Amino acid sequence: MKDIKVAVIYYSSTGTNYQMARWAHEAAKAAGVKEVRLRKVRELAPQEAIAENKEWQKHVEHTKDVEVASMDDLEWADAYIFSAPTRYGNLPSQFQSFLDMTGGLWSSGKLANKVVSGMTSASNDHGGQESTLLTLYKTMLHWGAIVAAPGYTHDTIFGAGGNPYGISVTAGKGSLGNEVKEGIFHQVKRTIEIAGWLKTGKNL
């Protein structure tokens, strides 16, 4: 696993997906990956909108030093862990805008055979978590990437909410407990393992 390069790329407005991404970064390191990048998607919301929400403003300030994701991060990595909240059952416009900029990499085949897994959150139990991840994976299929959803491959998935498409949480106090962390660790480990098998096979 040490030869696998992993990019953990997230968008977060008030911190839930930031914490999930941090755990994913930690999980990749724990799995023996030497090169892991933690990157945030650029914030596109106007300052006046952010200023109206104290938690949003606080989070923007708290994460000001996190490096912004680029196309170079996508080209560099063998595996991606994406984390973004749901917006009406879809990806946030900030994250979708990032994906919309990948046309050059896609057309040159540089996103094919990357291994991808996604995580998400919503403000209530049925706020669109599953459809958000399916929306994310549609883009991955166009890339020719390999989707590494966790499915029900470990008991930790049930403890973390039971979403087979990727770990998802109901945002709010108490939503980011140890069971969610354990589920993220399994999802990341599975993604890295699949990336390792693929990379080994390509090098034979």
Give the whole-angstrom CA distance, residue 26 versus residue 176. Answer: 15
- For 184, phi then psi, to 5°, come to -65, -40
Give the whole-angstrom CA distance, residue 121 versus residue 86. Answer: 6
Q: Given its phi and psi angles, is residue 109 left (phi above 0), alpha (psi -120 to 50 degrees) or beta?
A: left
Give the whole-angstrom CA distance, residue 102 versus residue 143. Answer: 9
Q: Which domains does the chain have, with CATH numbers?
A: 5-203 (3.40.50.360)
Query: Dihedral, CA atoms, 173, 29, 182, 115, nearest 10 degrees?
Result: 100
Give the whole-angstrom CA distance, residue 55 versus residue 58. Answer: 5
**Are 111 and 141 contacting, i.e. CB atoms less than 8 angstroms apart?**
no
Give the whole-angstrom CA distance, residue 73 versus residue 69. Answer: 6
**Are 54 and 32 contacting, i.e. CB atoms less than 8 angstroms apart?**
no
Per-residue pLDDT of 92-148, as tens digits, reads: 999 999 999 999 999 999 999 999 999 999 998 889 999 999 999 999 999 999 999
* Cβ neighbours of 32 (radius 10 Å): 13
* Cβ neighbours of 46 (radius 10 Å): 8
Per-residue pLDDT of 142-172, as tens digits, reads: 999 999 999 999 999 999 999 999 999 998 7
Per-residue pLDDT of 91-106, as tens digits, reads: 999 999 999 999 999 9
Place of tokens 């009406």: 88
Q: Is 54 exposed, middle or buried (0-12, 13-18, 19+ CB in 10 A)?
A: exposed
Predicted TM-score (pTM) of this structure: 0.96
